[in-house]
Amino acid sequence: MKQNIRTPSDRPGYGNTRKRGGGRQAVVGLLAVGALLAGCSGQPLAERLSAPTETTTSPETAPAVTAPAGTVLAQEGIAAGHPEAVEVGMEILEQGGNAADAAIATAFAVSVVEPHASGIGGGGVTLIAEPEKEVAAFDYREVVSKSGKIPASGTGVPGFVDGMATLHATYGSMPWNELLQPAVELARDGFVITKFLGERMNDGIGSSIVSEHRQFRTTDGGRVLREGETLKQAELAETIQTLATGGRDEFYEGSISKQLTLVKGLDAATLADYKTEKFEPVRGNVGDYTVVTAPPALPGAGLIQMLQQAEGAGIASDAPGSSPYVDKLMAAWSNASDTVTEKFGDQRFVEVDLSEVLDREQNLKIGSQLEEEASNDSPAGAIDPGNTTHLSVADRDGMAVSMTNTITSFWGGTKSDVVGGFFLNNQLSRFTTVDSPANRPEPGRKSVTWSNPAMVLDGQGRVVMGIGTPGGQQIPNILASVLVPVLLQDQPVQDAVDGPRFHLQGGILAVEGKATKSMKALARANEWKIRETTRSDGVFGSIQALWVDYDTGTIDGATDVRRDGDHAVSKTDR
C-alpha cells in the first residue's frame, strides 16, 4: 500500500469539551491513520483496528459513562510529545494492549519523531500504577562506566532499552516485537518534519550536528531538511528491528553493543552489567491531593517541597502570572533548587535525608514566612533551551504510566556520537553542572538530573493525573505552573497548560511573551533582569498530562502547543 504521510494539521479532527481536563480532546480516527502505519506485522492496519472514536460530551451535561464489565474506566488515553507517537500508542490500546504496552510502543516511536530529545541512546524514569497497588518507580538512566571516567562527550551507558524491556517483562501483555514495529515503520517510511523539529535541525548547534548525517539532508546530500519535508531514518529502522527481533540483549551484549564499545566512555563490561533499578517513589500532600514522583537523584522531592511552600505562602489566592504569584513561586523554587543541587545524589552511593525536605508542616510554615517584599535570591546557572520528552498513559483497567526519557541536551550535545542511527546522550555532564559532594562520578553511578515524571492521587489513593514535561532545569517550574492552578485553584488542566510560564535562573527572570508592568516592577525590586521569550523558543517545555474522572469513568488530556505535543482519548463504547 502506498504510504500517505500526513502533516500534523491533517490528523483527525478535534471537538471542544469543558471537562476538568479542559480544552480540546482528540477524536482518534484510527482508521484514517491506516495508511500511515500500514503493514505492521504484515497486515494492513485498517483491518486490525476498530471504528473511529468519538468526542465525548461534558460531564456537566452528560450522565456518567458505564465502564465495560471488568474494567475501571470507560476510556483510555495517551498524551505524548508528537501526534504520530500518540497514534502509535492509541493503536496499541485499541488492540487490547495495556498502558505499559502503549507506553513502550510510544517511547520507541518518540525516539523516531523526536530524535533530538530522547531515544535508544539515552535513559529515563517511569512511574507506573495499578489499581489498589502502590506506585512503582523504575530508573533506567545512564551510568558511569567501570573506568569511572567521564568522556568529553559526557556520554554514559544508555539505559533506555533495558528500561523498556524491564517494563515489558514486569507489566507487558503484548509481544515485544509487535510493540516495536510501529517505530520501525515510522523510521523506515518517514514522517513530515514539524516546525519545532525543523528549527532544532537548522539552528546553529542542530545544523552543525545533523548536517554530518545523510538522513537529515536532502537526497542530493545538500542542505539540512526543513519543516514540511519528509525525514526517513533507514539505519534507525534497522536498529529498532534488530531490537524487536533479538530483544534487549542485542543492545547490551550483541551486535549493537559491538558498535557502542567503539565510543569513548562505553565498554562491554558495563553494558553487559546494566540493570534497571526499581525504587519507591516519594510523595507529599498538596491541597487535597497527593503528588507522587521519582526519588533522588531526580528532583521530585524538591518539586513537592516547592509546591508545599508555595501553598503555605497562600499562592492559592493569587492569580497565575500576577506579581505576588510569581514572587511566591520563585521564592519556593529558589529553596527547592538549593535542595536539589546541594543535597541530592544517587541514593545507591550517598545517603539523602528527605525527612525535612518532605516535612509538610515545616514546608507550609516556611512558605508562610516567605518574605512578601523583594529578595534577590536566585538559583545559579543559565537558562537553556529545554530538552527531554514525556508521555502519560491510562488504560481502562486503571493502569497508569508517567514516563520521562531523555538524551539530556538536544542531539546529545555538541560532541555526541551517533551509533545505529540514534544519538547518544551527554547525561554525565550533569556531574559538572550540578557540582556538589553528593553528586560525584564513580563507576556505575547516576547523576542528579531534572527529569521529573509525576502522578497525582486523590483522597482514595487513585491516580487522577499523570504529568511531565521536557525543559531541562526549568522542569520543576513548568510542572508547578500547572500543578498549582489545578491542585490549589481547581483550574481545568487545559487552562493551566495554556497559562503563563516563567523561570528564575542566574538572576534572570524568563517570561513567556511580554513582561507586564507588575512583572517588571518585581524584577527591579529583586534586582533581576527580564528575558522575554516566545513559545517557539522551547524554553518552557511541553506538558503531557492526562486527567482521570472516576465519577464519569472518563479520561481527558491537555495539549501543549509550545512544541508538537498532542493527546488522544478513546471512544466510550468499545
Residues carrying an active site annotation: 388
- DSSP helix/strand/coil, 89: helix
Report how far residue 348's alpha carbon sits from residue 339's, in angstroms, rounded to the nearest whole number.
Answer: 18
The C-alpha cell that represents 304 in the structure block? 513537592
How do beta strands 282-286 and 463-468 pair?
A: unpaired
CB-CB neighbours of 72 under 10 Å: 17
Burial of 86 (0-12, 13-18, 19+ CB in 10 A): buried
Shortest CA distance to 296 belongs to which of 319, 311, 280?
Answer: 280
Report how far residue 486's alpha carbon sits from residue 360's, in angstroms, rounded to the nearest whole number.
Answer: 19
Report how far residue 86's alpha carbon sits from residue 105's, in angstroms, rounded to the nearest whole number.
Answer: 10
**Residues 164, 107 contacting (CB under 8 angstroms):** yes
323: left (phi over 0), alpha (psi -120 to 50) or beta: alpha
Structural Rg of the chain based on CA atoms: 22
Shortest CA distance to 104 belongs to which of 156, 163, 28?
Answer: 163
- DSSP helix/strand/coil, 191: strand
Report how far residue 354's alpha carbon sits from residue 344's, in angstroms, rounded to the nearest whole number.
Answer: 9
Name the amino acid, one letter, at 379: P
Instruction: Give the chain's length.
Output: 574
**Residues 33, 91 contacting (CB under 8 angstroms):** yes
221: left (phi over 0), alpha (psi -120 to 50) or beta: left
CA 292 to chain centre: 15
**Residues 529, 522 contacting (CB under 8 angstroms):** no
Q: Which residues pair with 293 in a beta bridge?
A: 282, 454
**Residues 470, 541 contacting (CB under 8 angstroms):** yes
How far apart, in Å, are the Cα atoms of 278 and each of 107, 292, 295, 442?
Answer: 19, 15, 11, 20
- Say what angle helices 99-113 and 176-189 make with each other, to 10 degrees: 20
The C-alpha cell that represents 238 in the structure block? 534497522
How far apart, in Å, are the Cα atoms of 205 and each of 366, 411, 424?
Answer: 42, 9, 16
How far apart, in Å, are the Cα atoms of 81 and each of 6, 78, 228?
Answer: 16, 10, 18
